[in-house]
Amino acid sequence: MIRTLRPWRRPVVDAGISAPSLSERLLAVTEHGVYAVDVDGRCVVANDAAAQMLGTVRTLLLGTTVHDRHHGRPAGEPVAECPMCTPLSTGQPGRGSATLVRVDGRPLAVEYVTSLVSHEGEPVAVCWFQDVGAREDTAAALAQLEMKYRAVTESANDAIVSADARGLIVSWNRGGQAMFGYDEAEVIGKPLTILMPERYRDAHERGMGRFLLTGEPRVIGSTVEVHAQHKDGTEFPVELSLSHWAEGEGRFFTGILRDITERKRAEEALAREAGFVKLLQRVSVASNESSSGREALETGLRMIAEHTGWPVGHIYLADDAGQILEPTNVWVHPDDERLAAFLQATTSTPFLAGTGLPGRVLAAKEPCWITDVTADDNFPRRDAARAGGLAAAFAFPVMVGSDVAAVLEFFASERLEPDEALCEVMGQIGNQLGRVVEREAARERLTHHALHDPLTGLPNRTLLLDRLEVALAQRSRGGVAVVFVDLDHFKLVNDSLGHAAGDALLCSAAMRLRAVLRPGDTVARFGGDEFVLLAESVVDERDAEGLAERITAALAQPFDVGGEEMFVTASIGIAVGRGAEADAPTLLRDADAAMYRAKESGRARHEVFDAHMRAGAVRRLEIVNDLHRALEREQFMLHFQPQIDLRTNTLVGVEALLRWVHPERGLVPPLEFIPVAEETGMIGELGRWVLQAACRQGRVWRDQFPDHPPLVMSVNLSGRQLTQPRLVDEVAAALADSGFPAEQLVLEITESVLMHDMVSTIETLQAIKDLGVRLAIDDFGTGYSSLTYLQRFPIDVLKIDKSFIDGLGGDNAEESAVTRTIVSLAKALRLETVAEGVERSEHVRELQELSCDIAQGYFFARPLDAPTLTSLMAQPDTPMAAFGPLLGQPSTAPVH
């Protein structure tokens, strides 16, 4: 049937533009493409939508042969066979799908409807078409997605189960079969409740009904953890994700279920481990904050019992030898009368290594577990444990280094298999508690070391001062005595027998001093060979002197030091404090001053401090203070004592002697300030000044009296100077700066100084000797040197001590024999001899008979200052006129 189509013409613009017709408006607004072709296949009508879909514009589409250009049919195919052109040949409408060809050659999938109409009396085929490419892509994608979904569903390890609104299973995958044990045929059409424990089924039915009725999604759309049930009836945890969907009139539910059994086990293990870590942290923090190791152990015991739920716990402490575990009264236990026998059995039973649970821990040094103590033959308390309702037990050591310091044990009421993880954590807690115990022991050791002498173990100065302060503050009756004890000549022990022997002597002396103490008194070592005793509740000085006498008696017995028998005496100083004015520093100072008085008075005695000593101590302090400023204020000067050649009766040398001219006290005796300079260390600076000044004065006299025989300058060296590393350089510098000849300088060293550190001393003396300087032993005969030692030192001169000169010229033949021996020894060793302290003519006469070389002393002249001696040297016949008679005249009294 041919319908009439109103002809379409291009608009002709002549008198104006006519309004578009209805058909034109319809073609313009439709989204479908519309075109019409005549019997020749040319496009006679088209809209913009058709042109746009074909990739062109409407004006270019009109007049084109649409079949050839856009229908995409095989080349040479007749138009009548083209499905879209059939209305022209058959007159029948057509409908279908086709693939058109766009202008740019790209395909265009369409659905079309064609019909035959009349256009200007000619039949034309009108084609309505729409682009269906996107819809086909969507359908293909959906098909692909469906295929992938089924592949994923079937390959998934999770169970994917769908059910309808009645709760009947409609789909089941292989994951469900593997998880629950059901084949697909066994579950399709069955209720979902067969997959859950019976106790949850009613709640499931109520929840499904509530959702279908109200749409309230309590579980839908979320992930929850629920219990599932296997075909064999065993339960296991699953993670469920539930969704719902509709298809037609039906509503369905799909659940994805994942077996989380292993995850739950891991989470439980992790939570348990986290609990252990938290316990370890809590115990660590609490134990570190504890005031003592025992408190740390008690805190750990309580925390472990709370965390593990084991109701009974107890602590054992190892003895000092680490061989026995002693029970304590430290417990954690419930208030249960049945435990009384077990508690009693525990607190009364020590354990050796290997015996019982604690003994096994002591032997193994690691945690131990007993599944049931009532069935363990190596559990001595098993009857008491059975009566108390106890079964399982474990214990762990508290380790300090490689030693067991304590053992903590715990008990439960049920039988339990060993828990390796728990034992491992307990081992770590034991190590942490051990560090706290070790730290406390280290603090105690440090405190002990800080307050005790490491050699003797006696309290040191710090601890004695503390106890003295406490004694003074708490004294209720009597006084407090401080007794200073200094071992006489102790340095000789070190120098002759070595420091090991000296240390042994000090330890033995400390033991004897402990033995004479009363309960509550203290003996301390202040350093070196000094000990201080603190006696409380002393009645008076006589009471304190009684203590000194006991000390003297205790030290009087010979000491055995390395097989050598040795006798020791002590100089003892006593100070007694009474009343509120007594204080610790003053008492110590006073006792020290009294001890020095005892030394000055001949040693091996005791002295009680009095007011005279305090004045002496004050003067000593003033000397110390003034001595520091004396050099810079040029208060020192040299005096020179002449030395006379006994063969020629001429002046051959002088000994330089230091003098201190104090602006207020006048001339300070050397015996007052030289020992102080030695003690304070100023002797080195003073000795350097003396050496330099003596060399300068020697050069002045050499230049002033060129015709006089060379005058020897003797200078004393102190023991401290001899140990100074720059001594040789200082001697060389003094000689170089002054221009004084080295061969005219004699350095004097006392015999006792030579015996200290002989190897180093010999090296220093030889280095001085290499400068050309001569060396002399001063006060020879008063020390402990032997002939063997004398031969080892590079000595040139022996100065015979005054004590041997005093007896010459009298009836004491023994003293003359000693002096004769010394002179003979010097001659044999080719040493020059100088006699000191010559005060009478008899001394001179006998010294000449003994062939002594040189003499000095008040018989000739007292020490003179440089100007006086210079004046005497300038006079004629100086030796006879200035230095007194040498022979045949009455002696004169010495001038002191």
The pTM of this model reads: 0.46
**Would you give the end-to-end CA distance of the chain in angstroms?**
172
Half-sphere exposure at residue 756, Cβ-oriented, CA atoms within 13 angstroms? 15
pLDDT of 107-148, one tens digit each?
999 999 999 888 777 888 899 999 887 777 666 666 666 666
- Mapping DSSP to helix (H, G, I), strand (E, B) and coil, where does residue 727 land? helix
The arithmetic mean of pLDDT across residues 739-749, rounded, is: 95
- Give the residue from 135, 136, 130 showing the smallest Cα distance to 54: 130
- Give the residue from 830, 834, 441, 487 showing the smallest Cα distance to 646: 834
C-beta of residue 296 within 8 angstroms of C-beta of residue 278: no
The arithmetic mean of pLDDT across residues 343-347, rounded, is: 95
- Give the residue from 788, 89, 86 showing the smallest Cα distance to 98: 86
In one letter, which amino acid is 109? A
Structure tokens belonging to residue 551: 């000390």
Neighbours of 763 (CB within 10 A): 11
CB burial of residue 325 (10 Å; 0-12, 13-18, 19+): buried
Query: Can you tell me the distance from the alpha carbon of 762 to that of 757, in angstroms, rounded to the nearest whole number?
Result: 9
In one letter, which amino acid is 640? F
Q: In the prediction, which pLDDT does 889 show?
A: 37
Query: Can you tell me the distance from the alpha carbon of 654 to that of 633, in angstroms, rounded to the nearest whole number?
Result: 26
Query: Can you tell me the distance from the alpha carbon of 119 to that of 383, in angstroms, rounded to the nearest whole number?
Result: 121
- Mapping DSSP to helix (H, G, I), strand (E, B) and coil, where does residue 9 land? coil
> DSSP secondary-structure letter at 805?
H
pLDDT of 777-798, one tens digit each?
987 866 555 555 677 889 999 9
| Average pLDDT taken over every residue of the chain | 86
Which residues make Cβ contacts (< 8 Å) with residue 630, sequence separation at least 6? 636, 660, 662
Which residues make Cβ contacts (< 8 Å) with residue 135, sequence separation at least 6? none
Q: Given the structure tokens 């490689």, which residue do they identify? A: 402
Half-sphere exposure at residue 896, Cβ-oriented, CA atoms within 13 angstroms? 5
Range with lowest mean pLDDT among 276-290, 550-564, 608-622, 769-783: 608-622
Which of 66-80, 533-547, 612-626, 731-745 holds the top average pLDDT? Answer: 731-745
Q: In the prediction, which pLDDT does 665 show?
A: 84
Query: Residue 666 pLDDT more than 90?
Result: no
The continuous run of DSSP H or E covering 575 comes out as strand 570-577
C-beta of residue 51 within 8 angstroms of C-beta of residue 44: no
The arithmetic mean of pLDDT across residues 446-470, rounded, is: 91
Q: In the prediction, which pLDDT does 885 show?
A: 42
The arithmetic mean of pLDDT across residues 500-524, rounded, is: 92
Neighbours of 307 (CB within 10 A): 17
pLDDT range class, residue 9, cuts 50, 70, 90: very low
> DSSP secondary-structure letter at 517?
P
- Helix ranges restricted to H, 394-528: 420-451, 461-474, 490-497, 499-515
pLDDT range class, residue 879, cuts 50, 70, 90: very low
Structure tokens belonging to residue 71: 């229908």
The arithmetic mean of pLDDT across residues 698-711, rounded, is: 92
Query: Can you tell me the distance from the alpha carbon of 634 to that of 548, in angstroms, rounded to the nearest whole number?
Result: 45
Q: In the prediction, which pLDDT does 755 show?
A: 66
Query: Can you tell me the distance from the alpha carbon of 205 to that of 316, in angstroms, rounded to the nearest whole number?
Result: 60
pLDDT of 616-631, one tens digit each?
777 777 888 888 888 8
Query: Can you tell me the distance from the alpha carbon of 660 to that of 673, in angstroms, rounded to the nearest whole number?
Result: 8
pLDDT range class, residue 8, cuts 50, 70, 90: very low
**What pairing do the DSSP bridges indicate for beta strands 650-662 and 712-716?**
parallel
In one letter, which amino acid is 678? E
Half-sphere exposure at residue 613, Cβ-oriented, CA atoms within 13 angstroms? 21
Which residues make Cβ contacts (< 8 Å) with residue 426, sequence separation at least 6? 304, 367, 394, 396, 408
Query: Can you tell me the distance from the alpha carbon of 340 to that of 138, in angstroms, rounded to the nearest whole number?
Result: 83
pLDDT cut 70: percent of the chain above it: 89
- Mapping DSSP to helix (H, G, I), strand (E, B) and coil, where does residue 403 land? strand
Rg (CA), the chain: 61
CB burial of residue 566 (10 Å; 0-12, 13-18, 19+): middle
pLDDT of 651-660, one tens digit each?
999 999 999 9
Neighbours of 120 (CB within 10 A): 12
The arithmetic mean of pLDDT across residues 715-729, rounded, is: 89
pLDDT range class, residue 20, cuts 50, 70, 90: low
Q: What is the DSSP string of 92-111?
A: --EEEEEEEE-TTS-EEEEE
- Mapping DSSP to helix (H, G, I), strand (E, B) and coil, where does residue 11 land? coil
Q: In the prediction, which pLDDT does 815 show?
A: 67
pLDDT range class, residue 232, cuts 50, 70, 90: very high
Query: Can you tell me the distance from the alpha carbon of 213 to that of 211, in angstroms, rounded to the nearest whole number?
Result: 5
- Give the residue from 185, 268, 181, 191 showing the smallest Cα distance to 229: 181
Which residues make Cβ contacts (< 8 Å) with residue 232, sequence separation at least 6? 181
C-beta of residue 508 within 8 angstroms of C-beta of residue 614: no
Query: Can you tell me the distance from the alpha carbon of 33 to that of 11, in angstroms, rounded to the nearest whole number?
Result: 21
pLDDT of 144-161, one tens digit each?
666 666 666 666 788 989
The continuous run of DSSP H or E covering 707 comes out as none
Query: Can you tell me the distance from the alpha carbon of 111 to that of 241, in angstroms, rounded to the nearest whole number?
Result: 42
